[in-house]
Amino acid sequence: MIPLSSTRRIVVAVTGASGAVYARRLVQCLDGAGVEVHLVVSSWGKKLLLDELGITTISAEAFLGRGSERLVIHPVKALDSVLASGSFHTDGMIICPCSSHTLGEIASGMGDTLVSRAAAVTLKEARRLILVYREMPINRIDLLNMLRLNEAGAVICPANPGFYMLPESIDDLVDFVVGKLLDLVAVPHELRTRWSGADAGAFDPKQTS
């Protein structure tokens, strides 16, 4: 896809599944890479940010610790937002974290909030839609909704951190997931997510039983 703007634009939506730290770190990394971020937070997403990060006001300062002209915040009920139209070019949308409710709403084709409407626009315009599903275990309804969305072109990317990088902190685990998300929207980063292969001499299968 050839961008219609020299500035990359990514839509980030935050909904009510646990994992606010992923959302904040994702916005920080996108902004740091010079990406124009369009942020939408659902009503339950606001409660999530309050409960897990103590964020009381959705603002650039709350997410970045400073102001930023690259971070544009859209009210979740603003269905007249530019994000509700396919004529407004973006380079994709990441819903992080994505709740079961939001998953089902998008899979059903609903567009009652700017989150679900922007997701529907992303799909119809054949842009990358990434859903960072954060709930477990997963029931049959959610699995079928995931399959339906995957068949429609969405990427289901659960927040499952890898341990082969030998993380030493929660921040390491968060960065692993966020790095995967940045890869999916082709945004360069230096987060530790790359597997370089094991030392060939470190493991001898003959020594195992």
CATH (domain of 158): 3.40.50.1950
pLDDT on residue 2: 38
The pLDDT profile of the chain, 209 residues, written as one tens digit per residue, is 334 456 899 999 999 999 999 999 999 999 999 999 999 999 999 999 999 999 999 999 999 999 999 999 999 999 999 999 999 999 999 999 999 999 999 999 999 999 999 999 999 999 999 999 999 999 999 999 999 999 999 999 999 999 988 999 999 999 999 999 999 999 999 898 887 766 544 555 566 55
Neighbour count for residue 197 (Cβ, 10 Å): 5
Beta bridge partners of 13: 40, 95
Query: Per the structure, how many domains does the chain have?
Result: 1
Beta bridge partners of 133: 98
**201 in any annotated domain:** no
Cα dihedral 190→170→103→45 (10° resolution): -100
**205 in any annotated domain:** no
pLDDT on residue 3: 43
The DSSP call for residue 57 is: S
CA–CA gap between residue 27 and residue 41 (Å, rounded): 12
- Domain housing 159: 9-193
pLDDT on residue 122: 98
CA–CA gap between residue 177 and residue 26 (Å, rounded): 9
pLDDT on residue 196: 74
**200 in any annotated domain:** no
Whether 35 contacts 9, CB under 8 Å = yes
Q: What is the CA radius of gyration of the chain?
A: 18
**140 in any annotated domain:** yes
**157 in any annotated domain:** yes
pLDDT on residue 88: 97
**32 in any annotated domain:** yes
**207 in any annotated domain:** no
Whether 157 contacts 184, CB under 8 Å = yes
pTM above 0.75, yes or no: yes
**202 in any annotated domain:** no
pLDDT on residue 150: 98
pLDDT on residue 206: 63
